[in-house]
Chain A
């Protein structure tokens, strides 16, 4: 079985316990304003251009008129032509076996640190059969497993992966439905229903809330109330993904928002009894 991913990142340490390998699935049905992986949203391959490397020589345009128009099929030919190596195609069809083969390379590091694999994205549960197969194969090889999900999928998708999961990181962006739609493009009833069901699964469940100054801070208290006894981890907004919007020829809509300081995050964490893990960013 194969699926579409856009990256496999080894030595990830902020998405679950210990040293982990993150597998980033491509395709998401949310479109959060602050998304730091904009290339994860579209489920198909896409062309990305590094503006820092591009010298504007025009070789690519002579070759193909569709570059960065909606006619671009991300065929990848301009990537080969570019003398500056400024272009790349994001997104790759891979088999579950290929993913597991990559994941298993760091098994020794997982063993020492209590780590494993984390399926992230994008939304891994939009490719739940593919996700389930990777997780099952990892479990067979005694590798710890985790998933990071926005939970905006039918419950049956969860049911496919739950038997093979140790850790579930489930995002709750906000509780207010109108606000949710404004920030992510979708309502949150399904998300909250799923999150509620996850609470009764006997898993290591952690809710995660990105804190985006001026956009969803007012919701922290409500999210905490929703989480109840389930641990809630707050994540600080950061703008390191900004350049990626540029590379995709897209606009970054929240340019003016300033990332919160670690001190501020610590303060909120204390006030609402949340977990805050400084990432050093």
Chain B
């Protein structure tokens, strides 16, 4: 029978940390580090030789009270109830412990900022904020200098920041936690060898031998590099592997060809098992020298062969990308896994430089989570700080702040739209509403950032994200070199189409009055069928039609630039981006009928920066030209464009070559990213009807891959509707 102490190692490490002599300013850092260490000393570990590599891969919520990258100190009721269910005989003690942690539970603290109106705005999907998720640790540095090197770094800066001894002490404790865990695995592996089969023993010997060297020192070969990576990666949370080929390529080059590929396959299986987020390959340095190596191409190969939905693969391209990189990337896309997503260094890097990141670091960008842009090992920005619904802002502008779903005034008062005598006045009211939503997100997000800094420092990320040790500041408290915040827009193309239609029918042609339009929207076009037809068949964004594309470009410019005037607590500004993915249906269901002719019950919204599904009729070049009219260099959080191509047509050499030319042209003209689905609409319709027959049908939903049959119906319809691009 386990004791409470055994099932809650983090909590006891945290509670019982000896803080005598610890600077009260860093008491929380110290306690969390002690919690970490206690957890790594006591958590259950096992080695499955078939995995090849050992790592904790702790399963939430069986960890009990713990520290997570996204939630800080986590002790919420789900975890409490889970523990009580697992250990009913400890129920009372568990309650006492969790009650004790309740006042410092991070999400409880971040939630304190929410007003009633905030809740209503979030419940009605107008905006959302206060996330604190992903990070990209510097695995390149960690592997290269090992924990010995990190310790040297700590000692060096400890001597400089003499007032921050306790900060560095907590880092050392967190660092020792990793070494302790590694040593436990070494001992376990050696013990297991005695009774293992011949094959298993071989692997266990390899693991034990690796842990004699790592994590203190640089790996001696690719196996050790993988083992080191896997230990560190699964140590805190399974997040994004980041610039994987950049970090591990050098070990790969020198290793036996057969064995190294086997190692990669094994690691890939583990990535899939833990649903690893985003792995980024290729790209260039600040002088546009290409960084592709053998590992880059073998990652594409293993992705083609394994056909997994995770990790999401991002591949970076630039003016000097070799033809082989293009060819193999497209061959991989053509297998139907929807990966890699391709990114343009020549758009992303200048965009990052424009917000003050030097070229050498801008060229270390990678993706975090789905598609948020991060600087590998040097930033705390690759996460969602918030979202705003641009289409909801338009609804507010038309109805003086009244939500057309809950019928309460939760937006800003911007006046009765009936009295707007020019399109500019409507646009102005719309901008006030988008600014209001941005301000709301900035407020709640900055509050959350401060709460994390004060109550939930992260000693582990402080070790492996550069800037923290150097400045003597925690990862959550402005330690990393870059701390830009990120907000994503939802329904931006829908707003552009709606505004274009209003401009045309209400202000230019004066075919309908504003009051008629509002009536029509409120009655979901009942009795206004002709108006609906007019609105629906009016020019739409995504067809290379200047008038509507210009509105799209203007509102993008306003919203994105407004964000950049707002400072983030972490340092830097609020950058914008657009990636809707699976959220489109949710945000779509939260608005009434729309001036682009969309009915109230239709949950369709545009996917990310692309056209509203079914509205781009002029083919892929027209869609790209439309998108390119907006300044993509402002999109520091990622501007995702999804395109769908028919599978069979992608499999012809002509099709592949023309796709490469299409992508290269898009990039040459300043496009940021393309994510490509290779599917037929018929296939998807069939899949919707007979999910059991299509269980293996992978769909790329933005940077997040899933099985089509697992998606909700609204999203399935959305994907089917998205115009099938004719190749």
Q: Which residues of A pack against B, CB within 8 Å?
A: 9-11, 13-14, 18-19, 83, 85, 105-106, 108-109, 111-113, 115, 277-281
Residue in B533, B646, B655 whose beta carbon sits within 8 Å of that of A13 in the complex:
B655
Question: Among A18, A106, A113, A280, which residue has the most Cβ atoms of chain B within 10 A?
Answer: A280
Residue in B649, B654, B657, B669 whose beta carbon sits within 8 Å of that of A108 in the complex:
B669
Q: When the two chains form their complex, are residues B544 and A105 in contact, meaning their CB atoms are under 8 A apart?
A: yes
Interface residues of B in 574-618 (CB under 8 A from A): 618
B residues within 8 A CB of A280? 646, 648-652, 655, 727
Q: Mark B659-699, 1 if CB is under 8 A from A, else 0.
A: 00110110011000000000000000000000000000000
A residues within 8 A CB of B133? none
A residues within 8 A CB of B669? 108
- The binding surface of chain A is classed by DSSP as loop
- Chain A nearest Cβ from B723, distance in angstroms: 12
A residues within 8 A CB of B650? 280
B residues within 8 A CB of A13? 654-655, 658, 727
A residues within 8 A CB of B661? 18-19, 109, 112-113, 115
B residues within 8 A CB of A19? 621, 658, 661-662, 665
A residues within 8 A CB of B668? 108, 112
- The binding surface of chain B is classed by DSSP as helix
Q: When the two chains form their complex, are residues B664 and A112 in contact, meaning their CB atoms are under 8 A apart?
A: yes
Give CA–CA (A115, B658) in the complex, Å.
10
User: Would you give 20 A-B contacts (Cβ < 8 Å), ordered by A?
Assistant: A9-B619, A10-B622, A11-B621, A11-B662, A11-B726, A13-B654, A18-B658, A19-B621, A19-B661, A85-B533, A106-B621, A106-B625, A108-B668, A111-B665, A112-B661, A113-B662, A113-B665, A277-B652, A278-B654, A280-B655
Interface residues of B in 620-669 (CB under 8 A from A): 620-622, 625, 646, 648-652, 654-655, 657-658, 661-662, 664-665, 668-669
Q: When the two chains form their complex, are residues A113 and B648 in contact, meaning their CB atoms are under 8 A apart?
A: no
- Chain A nearest Cβ from B544, distance in angstroms: 6
A residues within 8 A CB of B622? 10-11, 105
Interface residues of B in 491-518 (CB under 8 A from A): none
A residues within 8 A CB of B665? 19, 108-109, 111-113
- Chain A nearest Cβ from B349, distance in angstroms: 21
Q: Does B99 contact A (CB under 8 A)?
A: no
Q: A277-B654, A280-B646 are in contact. List 17 more A-B contacts (CB 8 A).
A: A11-B622, A11-B658, A19-B658, A19-B665, A83-B529, A83-B533, A85-B533, A105-B625, A108-B665, A109-B621, A112-B661, A112-B664, A279-B654, A280-B649, A280-B650, A280-B651, A281-B649
Q: Does B213 contact A (CB under 8 A)?
A: no
Q: Does B537 contact A (CB under 8 A)?
A: yes
- Chain B nearest Cβ from A20, distance in angstroms: 9
Give CA–CA (A9, B620) in the complex, Å.
11
Give CA–CA (A113, B665) in the complex, Å.
9
Q: When the two chains form their complex, are residues B648 and A11 in contact, meaning their CB atoms are under 8 A apart?
A: no
Closest to A111 in B: B665
- Chain B nearest Cβ from A123, distance in angstroms: 23
- 4 closest A-B pairs (Cβ-Cβ)? A113-B661, A280-B649, A11-B619, A112-B665
- Chain A nearest Cβ from B621, distance in angstroms: 5
Give CA–CA (A278, B664) in the complex, Å.
23
Give CA–CA (A105, B650) in the complex, Å.
24
Give CA–CA (A277, B655) in the complex, Å.
10
Q: When the two chains form their complex, are residues B658 and A279 in contact, meaning their CB atoms are under 8 A apart?
A: no
Closest to A8 in B: B618
- Chain A nearest Cβ from B231, distance in angstroms: 45
Q: Which residues of B pack against A, CB within 8 Å?
A: 529, 533, 537, 544, 618-622, 625, 646, 648-652, 654-655, 657-658, 661-662, 664-665, 668-669, 725-727
- Chain B nearest Cβ from A83, distance in angstroms: 7
- Chain B nearest Cβ from A15, distance in angstroms: 11
Give CA–CA (A110, B508) in the complex, Å.
36
Give CA–CA (A277, B622) in the complex, Å.
25
- Chain B nearest Cβ from A79, distance in angstroms: 11
Give CA–CA (A112, B664) in the complex, Å.
7
Question: Among B618, B621, B649, B668, which residue has the most Cβ atoms of chain A within 10 A?
Answer: B621
B residues within 8 A CB of A115? 661
Closest to A80 in B: B533
A residues within 8 A CB of B727? 11, 13, 280
Q: When the two chains form their complex, are residues A279 and B621 in contact, meaning their CB atoms are under 8 A apart?
A: no
- Chain A nearest Cβ from B532, distance in angstroms: 10
- Chain B nearest Cβ from A211, distance in angstroms: 17
Give CA–CA (A13, B661) in the complex, Å.
11
B residues within 8 A CB of A85? 533, 537
Give CA–CA (A13, B726) in the complex, Å.
10
- Chain B nearest Cβ from A87, distance in angstroms: 13
- Chain A nearest Cβ from B606, distance in angstroms: 20
- Chain B nearest Cβ from A262, distance in angstroms: 9
Give CA–CA (A14, B625) in the complex, Å.
21
Give CA–CA (A174, B391) in the complex, Å.
58
Given known contacts A13-B727, A105-B544, A108-B665, A113 and B658 CB-to-CB distance under 8 angstroms: yes
- Chain A nearest Cβ from B642, distance in angstroms: 17
Give CA–CA (A248, B363) in the complex, Å.
56
Give CA–CA (A279, B656) in the complex, Å.
11
Closest to B536 in A: A85
Q: When the two chains form their complex, are residues A14 and B664 in contact, meaning their CB atoms are under 8 A apart?
A: no
A residues within 8 A CB of B625? 105-106
Q: When the two chains form their complex, are residues B662 and A109 in contact, meaning their CB atoms are under 8 A apart?
A: yes
A residues within 8 A CB of B529? 83
Q: When the two chains form their complex, are residues A10 and B533 in contact, meaning their CB atoms are under 8 A apart?
A: no
Give CA–CA (A85, B617) in the complex, Å.
15
B residues within 8 A CB of A279? 649, 652, 654
Give CA–CA (A280, B533) in the complex, Å.
36
A residues within 8 A CB of B652? 277-280
A residues within 8 A CB of B651? 280
Give CA–CA (A259, B373) in the complex, Å.
48
B residues within 8 A CB of A113? 657-658, 661-662, 665
- Chain B nearest Cβ from A150, distance in angstroms: 23
Question: Among A9, A14, A109, which residue has the most Cβ atoms of chain B within 10 A?
Answer: A109
Give CA–CA (A108, B624) in the complex, Å.
11
B residues within 8 A CB of A9? 619, 726
Closest to A11 in B: B619
Closest to A112 in B: B665
Closest to A114 in B: B661
B residues within 8 A CB of A18? 658, 661
Give CA–CA (A18, B619) in the complex, Å.
15
Give CA–CA (A13, B620) in the complex, Å.
12
A residues within 8 A CB of B544? 105
Give CA–CA (A99, B727) in the complex, Å.
21
Give CA–CA (A14, B655) in the complex, Å.
9
Question: Among B648, B652, B658, which residue has the most Cβ atoms of chain A within 10 A?
Answer: B658
A residues within 8 A CB of B621? 10-11, 19, 105-106, 109
- Chain A nearest Cβ from B652, distance in angstroms: 5
A residues within 8 A CB of B620? 11
B residues within 8 A CB of A105? 544, 621-622, 625
Give CA–CA (A18, B649) in the complex, Å.
15
Give CA–CA (A115, B665) in the complex, Å.
12
- Chain A nearest Cβ from B310, distance in angstroms: 29
B residues within 8 A CB of A108? 665, 668-669
Closest to B546 in A: A105
- Chain B nearest Cβ from A136, distance in angstroms: 23
- Chain B nearest Cβ from A144, distance in angstroms: 13
